Amino acid sequence: MKFSGFVFAAEDQYAHAERYAFLFEVAEYLDRNGFTALWTPERHFQEFGGSFPNPAVLSAALAARTQRLQLRAGSVVAPHHHSVRIAEEWALVDQISKGRAGVCFATGWHKRDFVFYPENYENRKALTFQKIDEVRALWRGEPLRFPAADDVVDVKIYPRPVQREIPLWLVFSSDPGIWTRAGELGLNVLALLNSWNSIAENIGRYREARARHGHDPATGVVTIGLHTFIGHDNDAVRKRVEAPLKRYLASFLLAKNDDKKLSSRQAPMTDAERDLILEGAFRDLFDSRSLLGDLDKCERVVKSLQSIGVDEIAALIDFGLDFPSVLDSLDNLRTLKSRFECAKADDFACAETEGEGSFGWYFNR
């Protein structure tokens, strides 16, 4: 099992400069301590994730501060961008990072986000798959024809990327068919743990689709994002995370409620409905769909995911806790990671290194 970091925060008491300084410190910690990647999202025009309008810009800055950490978009909203622009920006990140760029594609969520190419909203899913094909071809150096001002021109991207193929993920939506399509195209998958009942079935569907279309089913990466704050006592962690996590979830529900206002088919969510959903969501997340609690509790969650074919945990660490507490907790996350690095070892030498260091469900597209 591999472990990555994931930032996707709602706004809080911190100024933007402090948030980015925190992000840089997290990246440097993950880089020093052997984590696989850091994911940064693309979000627009709302508090929920509003510090992250452009993952390529952030990844370029992070590339200069890290040596080994893979730098991934989680996600690029494909219908908001020209394919050439996506390929150019991430080829630049790949050059600066010496081959550590990766991208997850999403189809888009809010209608109001489509001030970028509003005509793309209705056909956003088909456009996303078209852009995946185009970005792959451009990345390989193939010229593609696009309309220009008064002509159609052949385009190749520069700078040329370091990696011969760009590592690509597809974000899971409420449509299980996304898993099949990802498998057919040889993509990886990024998802939150929406349901234990469906995740194993979806992973099986994904592996089967890869095999049917000539892709090694074992090489596809299934990455699961989990809210993460690991302490030494479950009750203490529950008390510590309840208020900030509920505020964080409320930011998402507010965004969803605003989105409903743009549709005549659904009434906006009432305050009572919101409070009921928040309480249920918090209990469910804490009890069974997160890395919230002590090390043993969190280890059981990871083992369960490992048993159904998950390859990577993306630890979502910034959901409203104060930054010093999050940074202090990273040592516990590192200890959890070390348990799985040692899982197949015949000896227990690596257990002695534990603790050494310097300090879903709402992701539908």
| Residue 303: closest CA among 19, 1, 32, 26 | 1
Taking CA atoms, 327 is separated from 27, 244, 291, 334, in Å, by 11, 16, 15, 11
Band the pLDDT of 349: cuts 50, 70, 90: very low
User: Which comes out higher in pLDDT, residue 194 or 56?
Assistant: 56
Is the predicted pLDDT of residue 159 greater than 50, yes or no? yes
Task: Give the DSSP letter string of 235-304.
Answer: HHHHHHHHHHHHHHHHHHHHHHHHHHHT-TTSPPPPHHHHHHHHHHHHHHHHHHSSEEEEHHHHHHHHHH
Question: How many H helices and E strands in the chain?
Answer: 10, 11
Which of the pair, 96 or 362, is modelled with greater confidence? 96
Burial class of residue 338, CB neighbours in 10 A (0-12, 13-18, 19+): buried
Cα distance between residue 323 and residue 221, in whole Å: 30
pLDDT digits (tens, 9 = 90+) for 176-188: 899 999 999 999 9
Q: pTM of whole model > 0.85?
A: yes
What is the SS3 assignment for 31? Answer: helix
For residue range 61-93, what is the model confidence (pLDDT) as tens digits? Answer: 999 999 999 999 999 999 999 999 999 999 999
CATH class for domain 2-235+291-353?
alpha beta
Name the amino acid, one letter, at 55. P
Neighbours of 355 (CB within 10 A): 11
pLDDT at 327: 97
Q: DSSP state, 325?
A: H
Please, are residues 31 and 67 in contact by the beta-carbon 8 Å criterion?
yes
Question: Which residue type sits at 158?
Answer: Y
> Considering just the CA atoms, what is the radius of gyration of the chain in Å?
20
- State pLDDT tens for residues 207-261: 999 999 999 999 999 999 999 999 999 999 999 999 999 888 887 666 555 444 4
Instruction: Parse the chain into domains and list their residue ranges.
Output: 2-235+291-353
Mean pLDDT of the chain: 88
